[in-house]
Amino acid sequence: MDAGRGDPLVVSVNTQSKRNRDAGFDPRVRLGILRGSWEHLPPRGMGRCQGFDYAEIEEGANIFYEHHTRESLEDLLLETTSRAILLEVWGAPYHSRWKPGIHQIHSRRASCAVAEDIRNLDGALQFYFREEQRTELFLFKFCGQQ
């Protein structure tokens, strides 16, 4: 992803849960999509978010989460990314030996295999499309996350 800060950023999205799989739980990721529209595109760049919580989004919308296999989620992400004119990402920054990136692009609430319950630090992807000035906000949850 080009955030306008020099080197591109890697956007790392989990398409299955290794922790759930290794603990004997469902490894599939559940995806909820909230559709909307835009009037002005957000500027390129990076900034600190004061918090991002799925619960606040879910209060105002009826979001249905659908299970995806790793392959089906990867195909959907590639297809959606290819049609989008802009991608907005919420997550946690990291820096590997090779490239900077953003990960933790999912709900951070406790799950079947992870007891730690982190609030207000969820991650998501929002795609912007030219046709009809549409948006699609992708919300990701693992087994056991409400």
Q: Give domain status of residue 34, yes or no.
A: yes
Mean pLDDT of 1-17: 88
Residue 7 has pLDDT above 90, yes or no: no
Q: Give domain status of residue 146, yes or no.
A: no
How many domains, in total, are found in the chain? 1
Residue 49 has pLDDT above 90, yes or no: no
Residue 128 has pLDDT above 90, yes or no: yes
Q: Which domain holds residue 36?
A: 10-141
Q: What is the pLDDT of residue 3?
A: 82
Q: Alpha-carbon distance 131 to 21, whole Å? A: 39
Residue 6 has pLDDT above 80, yes or no: no
Residue 85 has pLDDT above 90, yes or no: yes
Q: Give domain status of residue 25, yes or no.
A: yes
Please check whether residue 122 is in contact with residue 92, taking contact to mean a CB–CB distance below 8 angstroms.
Answer: no
By C-alpha distance, which of 143, 101, 144, 100 is closest to 123?
A: 101
Supply the pTM of this predicted model. Answer: 0.95
Q: Give domain status of residue 3, yes or no.
A: no
Q: Give domain status of residue 2, yes or no.
A: no
Element (H, E) at 81: helix 70-83
Q: Give domain status of residue 4, yes or no.
A: no
Mean pLDDT of 3-7: 78
Q: In what order do the strands lie in the sheet with 92-95?
A: 10-11, 100-103, 92-95
